[in-house]
Structures are given as structure tokens and as C-alpha cells.
Amino acid sequence: MADHVLVQTESQLRTLKSRFNRHGELVRNPVKISETDMKGWGKHDERETILWIGRTDMFHKRPLLFLELAKRCPDLPFVMIVNNTNDTMFTDISTKCPPNLTIVDYVPHKEIWDYYRRARVFVSTSASGYEGFPNTFLQCAVTGVPMASLEVDPEGIFSQKNCGLLSGGSMDKLESDVRFLWSDEVHAQRYTKLFYKYTLEHHSLGRQVDRFEKLLQKVIDAPLRTPMLPWWKMPFQRFVRRLEI
């Protein structure tokens, strides 16, 4: 049994306690972010795409929902960066792709930032049951991209902290949210700045590295204990029932 369990979110802490009666150590997803990043953000009306990034799967990232969104908004430009993990689905997406959707098959990490900087809106269609705290959200914070999420609401950043728009599983509302963020610069910037400040406070690389280092030191300083033997190495005990005559 592990001496320490690391988790990424407060909801995972609660799940660990409720399901396994274990206490966890919270180390949030880190991102390299600084107080000067806002100076490099492009103007709202100069950003030209609605961006989606993820894998070709049906249960988690669900790219077909983004495809449906693009069809609902033929007047808006969409970009889908796909990590092709399912050839059948990738072919299906490519075949059904509307004229206003550009599909990009994989982008190296060092080049991905350019796509964020050109995006006016970022969309998540991920299923809430499979998502932790997405790195794509943190990258939006660094580059100043407002977010619209179909289901995922890690740490209540949308429903409680007002860092973007949450559609509650409704494609109709997702379409409305995307159009709103696309056209309303004032609200888009407000959501973006709130999430930027939240990320700077809770997910900055330096803070999380310090946190992780302290936890490692805690483990190193703890007294050693005799490890539990696996079942096949445990002493074999034979139980004998004595019968009285």
C-alpha cells in the first residue's frame, strides 16, 4: 500500500477519501506562467479561430461534438487539432468536415502556442467523468483565450469562479456561449483575466514544484517501515481442526 497518494484536484481528494478512506496530497497541474504574460495577448478582434485540441475518441474528448458545433455555426471559423488515436474516427471526421472547419493532424508542443494566440475562443467537449484539470485550459490562461466548456468544470472554475462559460451538457447553449464569446469582447476579456489570475495563484510552475519538493522531502524524512510481503511470500499456515473422541 502506498504511503502517500498525489492528486491533481480537490474533487479527487474528496473521491479518494470517500471511496478508499485515504488522505491525499494535492499537487495541481503546473504551467509556466508569469505576471507579464498578459502583455503578449493579441487583441480580441485580431484573433481569428475557434479552437479545439484533443484525441480521436468517443468517450473522453469527443471530437464529433465539435464537428457538430462547427456545422451549427457555418459563419464562424473553426480549427481542430487532432491527435489521431483512432483511424476510423479520424476518417469519419475528415469525411464529414464542413467548409468552415480546418483539421490539423498533430502539432508539436513548441508550435501549439501559435494556435492558442490566434484563437478567439477555446472549446472543450470532453466528458466530465474522465477529465481532471486539462492542460489545454492552463495554456488558455497563459495565452488569454476565453473558454466555453460543454461539461467539464474542474474546481468549479466556470460555475463558481466565473472563469469562462459552462454549457451543462447542452449543445444549444454551447453554440450560444461560443457566439457570445466570439462577439462580446468585454465579457470575453473579463473571463480571461479572472482565469489568468486564478491560474497564476494556483497552478504556477514554481509553486507546484516547491509543493512537490516538500512532499518528497516529507517522504525521505519519514522513518522506514517494514514493507508488507506479497501474498505469495507470506508464511504458509496450515489450520488443523482437532476432533475430540
Those residues of the chain that have pLDDT short of 70 are 1, 225-229, 231, 234-245
Alpha carbon distance 140, 192 (integer Å) = 8
| Same domain, residue pair 44 and 158 | yes
pLDDT value of residue 221 = 84
| Same domain, residue pair 60 and 178 | yes
195 in any annotated domain:
yes
| Same domain, residue pair 6 and 70 | no
The reported pTM is 0.86
CATH number where 105 lies:
3.40.50.2000
| Same domain, residue pair 54 and 21 | no
Would you give the distance in Å from CA 163 to the centre of its chain?
A: 14
- Among the listed residues 78, 36, 63, 48, the one whose alpha carbon sits nearest the alpha carbon of residue 196: 36
| Same domain, residue pair 5 and 100 | no
Task: Answer whether 80's CB lies under 8 Å from 105's CB.
Answer: no
pLDDT value of residue 227 = 67
| Same domain, residue pair 23 and 41 | no
Query: Which alpha helices (H) appear in the chain, and where do they start and end?
Result: 10-20, 63-72, 87-96, 109-118, 135-143, 171-183, 185-202, 205-221
| Same domain, residue pair 82 and 184 | yes
| Same domain, residue pair 107 and 141 | yes
124 in any annotated domain:
yes
| Same domain, residue pair 56 and 153 | yes
What residue numbers bound the domain in which 6 lies?
A: 1-29
Q: pLDDT (tens digit, 9 = 90+) per residue, 104-113? A: 988 998 999 9
